[in-house]
Amino acid sequence: MEQRDAKFIDIHQAEMVFNTRKGQFHALRDINLTVRKGEFVTLIGHSGCGKSTLLNLIAGLLMPSDGVLICAGREIAGPSPERAVVFQNHSLLPWLTCHENIYLGVERVFATTENKSALKERTKAALAMVGLSAAGQKRPHEISGGMKQRVGIARALAMEPKVLLMDEPFGALDALTRAHLQDELLKIVAKTGSTVVMVTHDVDEAVLLSDRIVMMTNGPAASIGDIVQVRLSRPRERVALAQDALYAEYRTSVLEFLYRKQAHPAAQAA
């Protein structure tokens, strides 16, 4: 069991080549990565290096040109509610209420085994988990950007996915809302024990949330340059961590990778 959980997600020699009008574009090369059950892994790297492409491969939204991706012992052959994705722009259906948006996901997973009132309870519990019980009957245009992201997270979690995949979920939010949602995500993940793979540009976000930070080299043919193991105890508290020497060390390691070892091509040219 432990052996299997040690490789809950197993990416072996993955390659991604896109066919474009100008010919083939080799986006990802030689990607090898395993993620343990319950682990929180972030993918960080400069813009265009292939973070979203790697996340989309795990989501099953893209198929690798070569190599194998396995989740919970099965090859990833397409999208599945067991790998729920939260995107940067919430992707809620505008004509449905927050409750209905979440219900749709819940129905997709549990309708064959549970009755309607159980599905409604699940939906309510998910809204409560992100502190939005009062907003259930509102439509997306009636709530703030931060609230929309919380509904998106609630929808994903309500499906009880084996893996939560997040593509810069807080990227479009102001700094304070982002910090608040990061704290909320920490609490939710502590409660649910979810396995999370998250794309971010934000070094502090990566250190605060992660068990491991996967740092990607610049593309084309990007690969994994290095991995930082974040050994900060949980629960983590941002204000206390601001004074923590180990936190500063991890932060520096990631910054060094990004701005010394992998200085962005545009910055090198400048």
Ligand X SMILES: Nc1ncnc2c1ncn2[C@@H]1O[C@H](COP(=O)(O)OP(=O)(O)OP(=O)(O)O)[C@@H](O)[C@H]1O
Which residues of this protein are in contact with ligand X, per CB under 6 A? 18, 20, 25, 27, 45, 47-53, 219
21 versus 141: smaller Cβ distance to ligand X: 21
- Of 25, 170, 161, 31, the C-alpha closest to 83 is 161
- Shortest gap between Cβ of 176 and ligand X (angstroms)? 23
In the complex, minimum distance from the CB of residue 92 to ligand X, in angstroms, rounded to a whole number: 21
Angle between helices 98-110 and 116-129 (to 10 degrees): 130
Q: What angle do CA 248, 249, 251 make, to 5 degrees?
A: 65
Identity of the residue, 45 or 105, whose beta carbon is nearer to ligand X in the bound complex: 45
- Closest approach, Cβ 216 to ligand X, in A, equals 7
Query: Measured from the CB atom, is 63 or 68 closer to ligand X?
Result: 63
Min dist CB 88 to ligand X, Å, is 9
User: Which of helix, strand or coil describes residue 167?
Assistant: strand
Query: Residue 20 or residue 243: which is nearer to ligand X going by CB?
Result: 20
Please report how close the Cβ of residue 50 comes to ligand X at its closest, in angstroms.
4
Beta-strand ranges (E) seen in 123-190 are 163-167
Q: Least distance from C-beta 267 to ligand X, angstroms?
A: 15
Select 17 or 96, whichever has its Cβ closest to ligand X: 17
Distances 39 to 8, 35, 166, 234 between C-alpha atoms, Å:
9, 6, 14, 12
Residue 234 one-letter amino acid: R
Minimum CB distance to ligand X smaller for 55 or for 185: 55
Cα torsion 77, 79, 85, 87 to 10°: value is: 110
Please work out, in degrees rounded to the nearest 5, the angle formed at the alpha carbon of residue 217 by the alpha carbons of 215 and 218: 135
Alpha-carbon dihedral 21, 23, 27, 30, rounded to 10 degrees: 150
